[in-house]
Amino acid sequence: MIEDDEHLTELINALTQAKKRRILVQIGRQDLDGEDFLFHGFILDFSREHVLIQLISDRFDLDGYEVLRTENITLLDSEFEHRRFLERALGIRGMRPIPLEGIDLKDTRSMFRSVEKQFPLLVIHREWDSDGECEVGRIKMAADEFYTLKALSPTAEWVDDDKVYRYSDVTRVCFGGDYETTLARVAGIEV
C-alpha cells in the first residue's frame, strides 16, 4: 500500500505520464499479489481512488478492462524487461489501446454505476476478504456504503445472492473481457 503522500504523489505523476504518452506499463500490487504477479496494460484514466487499465492477456491481445484501487499499487514501471516484445506482439496483431469514455472513478459506487451503463457484467474482487474468489453479476441494490449483487454463476445462471458487500472492500473490478462477454452471451444478456 502507498504509505504516505510522497509515494502517492510519485504514483500520480507516473500515472499522468503513462496516460499522456499512451505507453505500456507493468503494475504491481505486492501486498495483495506478491512480487511475482504483475498486470500489463495501458493506463486509460485514474483518480486518487482508482486506476482504469486496458489489459494485455497472455494471448498477447487486449482483453478487457480492470479498475484497481490506487492505494494498492506498489509498482508502476514503463521500462520493464519485456515491454518491447509485448508492444511488437500487439503491433503485429494491429492492436492499440481503446479509449473508454464515461467511467467515473471518483468512488466505487460511481464507478460501478458508470461501468454498468456500458458493459453487461462486473467481475468484483474483494481480495483482502476473500482471496481467490470473485463475484460476477450486476448491482441489484446500492446504498452509500453497501451494495447487493444480482449474481451470475460460472455456468451463466442467475443465483440468489442476498449478501451485503461494502464498497470499501472492493480491490479490483474487471469488465469487457472475453470471459465476461462470453458468460453474458451464454446467459442471454445483450452485449
Q: Where exactly are the structural domains of the chain?
A: 5-92, 108-186
Please, which pLDDT band fits residue 91 given cuts at 50, 70 and 90? very high
Q: Cell numbers at residue 143, please?
A: 446504498
One CATH from 2.30.30, 2.50.20, 3.40.50, 3.30.1490 for 108-186: 2.30.30
- Give the H/E segment covering residue 38: strand 38-46
Q: Cell numbers at residue 38, please?
A: 504483475
Assign a CATH topology to domain 5-92.
SH3 type barrels. (2.30.30)
Q: Cell numbers at residue 126, please?
A: 474483494
Please, which pLDDT band fits residue 1 given cuts at 50, 70 and 90? very low
Residue 172 CA to residue 179 CA, distance in Å, equals 16
What is the residue whose three cell numbers read 509485448? 86
- Of 92 and 3, which is predicted with more confidence? 92
What is the model's pTM?
0.92
Please, which pLDDT band fits residue 4 given cuts at 50, 70 and 90? low
Asked whether residue 165 carries a pLDDT value surpassing 70, the answer given is yes
Residue 70 CA to residue 4 CA, distance in Å, equals 13
Distances (CA, A) of 8 to 70, 75, 80: 8, 11, 21
